Structure 1
Amino acid sequence: MKEDNIRIYFNMILGTIGTILISLGMISYLAKENDIKAYAVALLGFPLTLSYIDYLEKKAGISRKLTWIRAVISIVIFLVFSYFIYY
């Protein structure tokens, strides 16, 4: 049972790193291109992806407390790195 939890948490960490890297790439692209259509697609697609990840975490049995902690840490990391990329 403990080994299964370690696998779930490891995959959750990898998924978080992946979404942060995708969002940083999106910010970098949008800062360089100034494309309104790409910006609209990114603003629509990214929350949809995050809601699906949240759904999968519920199915995997990850607690809401841990999900919120992951989300807050992800947002802070994203804001710090996006500040350095954008400015």
Structure 2
Amino acid sequence: MIARRLEINGRVQGVFYRDWTVKSARELGLAGWVRNRLDGTVEAVVQGDADAVERMIALAQNGPPAANVDRIDVAETTVGAITGFEKRSTR
């Protein structure tokens, strides 16, 4: 089990990126959360099987149809006691 913190940059707010992330992560069996940030990025923590986490990162490069992802900054983070995948409030 691994966990990664993602900072998604580009046109990723107002294009259903968070909803798409929740759906995609749940389909991959991942735990974690996603939220908009005040600086215009989207932040997510994804946790689970290493292959599923890597698949999620690859999918996030495109996101939903209306998104335009410039880059994703990925950082290792601590595996926590997270269950399910949720959308959080902007921070």
Structure of greater Rg: 1
Bigger fraction of residues in helix: 1
Bigger fraction of residues in strand: 2
Shorter-chain TM-score bucket reads 0.3 to 0.5
